[in-house]
Amino acid sequence: IVSRLEGLLKPQVDGFDLFMATFPAGTVTGAPKIRAMEIISKLESSPRGPYAGAVGYFGFNGNMDFCITIRTISIVENKLSIQVGAGIVYDSSPRKEYQETLKKAAAMFKAIERSKNDSDDR
């Protein structure tokens, strides 16, 4: 899914202000956003790290381009972590959503394994 937005900012506002006002994205927090973020903070046992954040750039010409990190692999202190999620809506099946996250994670593990095998062949 791609959303392309264009607009003019007020003189006292810059692209960084815009970015900070829109992240974390409502698509990964839920709605109403502020209340959903409060609930997430209470329920999740650890910070999300890069998961549900953004990767992108601020251009010198004022443009900016970011994507939401909905599947992440990170390595901290020699420990690899994979984070995935599912879109939960009012009629979601918890079992199906859980299975979906397992499939997403499996694909990431497969990519890591292939990468490892490729480097072993060198």
- How do residues 47-85 score in pLDDT, each as one tens digit? 888 999 999 999 999 889 999 999 999 999 999 999 999
Contacts of 16 (CB under 8 A, 6+ apart): 58
Q: Both ends of the chain: CA-CA distance in Å?
A: 37
If one counts every other C-beta atom within 10 angstroms of the C-beta of residue 52, the result is 19
Q: Is the pLDDT of residue 27 over 90?
A: no
Q: Is the pLDDT of residue 122 over 70?
A: no
Mean pLDDT of the chain: 90
Q: What percent of the chain has pLDDT over 90?
A: 61
Concatenate the DSSP letters of all residues of 76-107 into one string.
Answer: ETTEEEEE------TT--HHHHHHHHHHHHHH
Q: What is the pLDDT of residues 29-51, one digit of tens each?
A: 888 999 999 999 999 998 888 99
Contacts of 46 (CB under 8 A, 6+ apart): none
Identify the bridge partners of residue 74 per DSSP, sorted by sequence position.
81
Q: pTM to 2 decimals?
A: 0.73
